[in-house]
Structure 1
Amino acid sequence: MKIEKTYLEDTHQLELIVETEQDVFDKAKHVAMREISKNVKIPGFRPGKAPYNRVAQYVGEDRIIDKALESFLDEIYPKVIEEIEETPYGPGQLEEVKSLEPPTLEFIVPLEPEVTLGDYRSIRIPFEASEVSEEDIHKAVEELQTQHTSVEEIEGPAEENNIVDTKITGRVIDADLDDEEALIMVNQPLPVLIKSEDEDDSKEWPFPGLSRQLLGVSPGDSLELVHEYPDEEKIAEDIRGKAVLYTVDVEKIRSRVLPELTDEFIQSVTDFETKEELLASIQDELEENAQRKDKNKYIDKIFDAILECSTVKFPIEMVKD
């Protein structure tokens, strides 16, 4: 067996041109011919008894060769891998049958990943520790309070973070009054949370910016708001590129009320007795989380620095896996 090796640097693979003994492949062809002839009725011969030329004439030699290659490859590929003395990452692939006389095959074999470390001992990265601020503790406390928020109905006027319960009717402007399809919605109940000025309102429905147009309203108020929709595919076809008049009737206004941070509240929602115990626990937990994040971030920086000064080679099959 003759093997010509070519290292493919871009893909970290070996290209192998393998030339094998003719008699080995001829033997595989005869074995394949006998297997085929057992399942094919050839006039004048019992199953499996017809000679090679007669079977080849009857079923076509290409069929014999295809079946012979299956067993032939199973037999020679392990020998090829053993002879090249390389460690494949996974199974090789037959790229081409270059010749049948003599049998010459081209294989592509993925290689195990290789890592060549650079001068990692010289890497010096300072460890940066985060500090837990009073603001961090305040946010954690506020989150706890928010989880137990109550809602109270108020008279108004509506402010940021209030919930305005409305009924909305929408009609396409310039449409015929008797055109029912021009009605986008009729008395659609819709609770609207009024967002702060710096919050993202792009996902508000039925149009962005609705909530802040309700600032200052009171129960019983009615507003007429016009919104022009862009001519874009993401917009529903019935309102795309059109102006819609929305009539917004305000039914009631609700305010979210945060519970006071009293010992009684703390005892009802946590395992602590006092505000001091809760704050100390929150600080400890935030510090533990910060230390864990700092450590992980530090390790990531070290690995990034090692990778930057090292060479890593891997086959494309590894990415697919």
Structure 2
Amino acid sequence: MKLETKPRDDHQVNVIAEFEPSDLEAYMHRAARQISERAKIPGFRPGKAPYPVVLRMYGDEAVREQAIEILVDDKYPAILDEAKIEASGAGKLEDILSTNPPKFSFLIPLAPVVTVGDLASIKKNYEEPVITDDQVEKAVKNVLSSYATPTDVDRAAKEGDLVKMELSAEYVKAPEGEEKEFIAKTPHQAIIGENDMRKETWPFEDFSKNVIGMKTGETKTFTHAYPKDDPVEKLQGQKLEFTVELKSVQELTLPELNDEFVMKIGQFNSVDDFKAYLRRRMEADAKAEYDNTYFDDLLDQMVALCSFKYAPHMLDEEIHSVQHSLQDTLAQQQMDVDTYLKVRKLTMDELVEKELKPVAVRRLERSLLVTEISKQQKLELSDEELESSFNQTVNEISMSYDMKRMRRTISNEKLSQAVAFEAANRAMNRKVLEYLRDMASGKSAEAKPEKKAAKAKMKPETESAEGEAKPKKAARAKKAGAEETKPAD
């Protein structure tokens, strides 16, 4: 086998492989045997038709095409080994340059290369949030309010009341191409001054506080200026005039907080038990929110110090993943992609280039950095870490999906393997982030008892969610123009 390699600028390499004529001849016989096993050839049992008979019936070209497919599948791993190529995905058979001698041109995507900068130069304190007694008491009151008894009152509305109203809104100055009316008359209800666990966000934060002092039957008009970074594009930097007619005011009578009450609403033995549960949940939520913000910023800073080279297919796959996530989000809002594009006044190509691609680049480069750190630091997972992550992943999947439906479509063995991979990747991701956090915060490495390392080291390749990685897949060659099968997100 003779090989000629030609590197390309897009982190792929062209490889021209030339074989001996006898190689193709041998594979012609194998191809003919395979054809005879599948086809019904009069006078012969499956797989027993002589080579000349198969050639006469199916033609030299058809047999040669099948032979080339078998040859490429067999020889492709040897091509990678001899050319010392580490591929990041399936290569493509771009062209058959000659059949005598057999000479083929392949396009092979190279494994990503990450040049890590001076990550130790980044300093960022890590201060785990603390939940105060006052916050717990507010949370208790929030729970009580959800079991409150509403009573109509003939007085002005005040904070804590349940109010029902009819509202409408229009632009003070409508943007070009938009109608002046933004919200047609619509019913709305809220508890004035919603609590921290249920913040009022529509039509804007603390909207209901504008009806404080109003009585049933009264109407009020007021304006609100939206910030330029408002998540609703049509509202960014706009001022709206709202008109509200108050329909009713109800005072909420909270139930008495005692052991009997908490036993009714959950598996709690006492008020103290209930408050301890709330504190644990609040601490977990606060830590998760803090960690998301902390690691988002830390990874962005670290990625900026590094350089990345990766083949186009890796970014394409990440864009596909981001697009799939968008479709899921839209489906939850009862909207499809076509409707979303019409509302946004974008084509799919514009959406991909302006919005999905930047997100995909960010996710991919973060994932590549996490992978590289795990390799450089030779991080391993203990059996205890894997078991803990596996149990947590199973619990989350059980709560998020219909397990019975999943078991009908996926075998128990494949489901277990998928959960195991996901759990291992999550655990490795956490381990890398903890390492980076300790480095950035200046936390000295504390002596820890050695844990038995798990037999399998995870080497994540691409990200499935921000910072989370998928296991690397074995590469093989495919024909140019053939569509690569991608796993469902």
1:193 corresponds, among 182, 190, 195, to 190
Q: Deviations over 1:269-301 (max 9, x none)?
A: 58566xxxx79x96x997897678667755555
| Change in 2 beyond 3 A, CA 1:256/1:98 | farther
Q: Deviations over 1:127-151 (max 9, x none)?
A: 2648869xx7545422311211222
| Change in 2 beyond 3 A, CA 1:195/1:20 | same
| Change in 2 beyond 3 A, CA 1:69/1:142 | same
- For 1:282-297, what aligned pairs fall within 5 Å after superposition? none
The alpha-carbon deviation at position 256 of structure 1 amounts to 1.7
Report the secondary structure of 1:98's partner residue: strand
Q: Deviations over 1:80-137 (max 9, x none)?
A: 122112222344332322322221212222333322222334x04242648869xx75
The alpha-carbon deviation at position 312 of structure 1 amounts to 2.4
The CA distance in 2 between the partners of 1:14 and 1:165, in whole Å, is 66
The CA distance in 2 between the partners of 1:30 and 1:285, in whole Å, is 68
The CA distance in 2 between the partners of 1:130 and 1:58, in whole Å, is 75
Report the secondary structure of 1:147's partner residue: helix
| Partner in structure 1 of residue 241 of structure 2 | none
Report the secondary structure of 1:48's partner residue: coil
Is the aligned partner of 1:49 residue 2:50? yes
Contact 1:91 1:110 in 2 (8 A): yes
The alpha-carbon deviation at position 19 of structure 1 amounts to 1.4
Report the secondary structure of 1:216's partner residue: coil
Contact 1:88 1:111 in 2 (8 A): yes
The CA distance in 1 between the partners of 2:93 and 2:30, in whole Å, is 21
Which has the larger displacement, 31-40 or 139-148? 31-40
Report the secondary structure of 1:304's partner residue: helix
Report the secondary structure of 1:144's partner residue: helix
| Change in 2 beyond 3 A, CA 1:196/1:298 | closer
Is the aligned partner of 1:60 residue 2:62? no
The CA distance in 2 between the partners of 1:286 and 1:249, in whole Å, is 35
Is the aligned partner of 1:98 residue 2:101? no
Identity %: 22
Contact 1:42 1:55 in 2 (8 A): no
The CA distance in 1 between the partners of 2:281 and 2:33, in whole Å, is 75
| Partner in structure 2 of residue 314 of structure 1 | 310
Contact 1:163 1:191 in 2 (8 A): no
| Change in 2 beyond 3 A, CA 1:88/1:119 | same
Report the AA paired with residue 153 of structure 2. Answer: E
The CA distance in 1 between the partners of 2:286 and 2:191, in whole Å, is 33
Which has the larger displacement, 58-67 or 298-307? 298-307
Report the AA paired with residue 312 of structure 1. Answer: F
The alpha-carbon deviation at position 65 of structure 1 amounts to 1.4
Report the AA paired with residue 66 of structure 2. Answer: K
- For 1:74-153, what aligned pairs fall within 5 Å after superposition? 74-121=73-120, 123-127=121-125, 129=127, 138-149=134-145, 150-153=148-151
The CA distance in 2 between the partners of 1:49 and 1:199, in whole Å, is 79
What TM-score, normalized to structure 2? 0.40
| Partner in structure 1 of residue 2 of structure 2 | 2
Report the AA paired with residue 125 of structure 1. Answer: K
The CA distance in 2 between the partners of 1:23 and 1:4, in whole Å, is 20
Contact 1:87 1:111 in 2 (8 A): yes
Which has the larger displacement, 292-301 or 62-71? 292-301
| Partner in structure 1 of residue 250 of structure 2 | 254
Point out the structure with the larger strand share: 1
Report the secondary structure of 1:125's partner residue: coil
| Change in 2 beyond 3 A, CA 1:266/1:58 | closer
The CA distance in 1 between the partners of 2:246 and 2:139, in whole Å, is 32
Q: How many residues align?
A: 250
Contact 1:97 1:104 in 2 (8 A): yes
Larger Rg: 1
The CA distance in 1 between the partners of 2:32 and 2:285, in whole Å, is 70
Report the secondary structure of 1:256's partner residue: strand
The alpha-carbon deviation at position 153 of structure 1 amounts to 1.4
The CA distance in 1 between the partners of 2:82 and 2:260, in whole Å, is 74
The CA distance in 1 between the partners of 2:261 and 2:191, in whole Å, is 30
Contact 2:27 2:71 in 1 (8 A): yes
Q: Deviations over 1:7-28 (max 9, x none)?
A: 2342x33221111111211221
| Partner in structure 1 of residue 223 of structure 2 | none
Report the AA paired with residue 6 of structure 2. Answer: T
The CA distance in 2 between the partners of 1:292 and 1:193, in whole Å, is 28
| Partner in structure 2 of residue 154 of structure 1 | 152
Q: Deviations over 1:49-71 (max 9, x none)?
A: 362xx644432322111221122
Runs of at least 5 residues in structure 1 that lack an aligned partner in the other structure: 169-189, 224-247
| Change in 2 beyond 3 A, CA 1:257/1:15 | farther
Report the AA paired with residue 193 of structure 1. Answer: A
- For 1:261-280, what aligned pairs fall within 5 Å after superposition? 269=262
Contact 1:4 1:18 in 2 (8 A): yes
The CA distance in 1 between the partners of 2:299 and 2:55, in whole Å, is 61
The CA distance in 1 between the partners of 2:301 and 2:293, in whole Å, is 12
The CA distance in 2 between the partners of 1:93 and 1:65, in whole Å, is 18
Report the AA paired with residue 23 of structure 1. Answer: S
Contact 1:33 1:55 in 2 (8 A): yes
Contact 1:116 1:312 in 2 (8 A): yes
Contact 1:3 1:19 in 2 (8 A): yes
The CA distance in 2 between the partners of 1:35 and 1:267, in whole Å, is 75
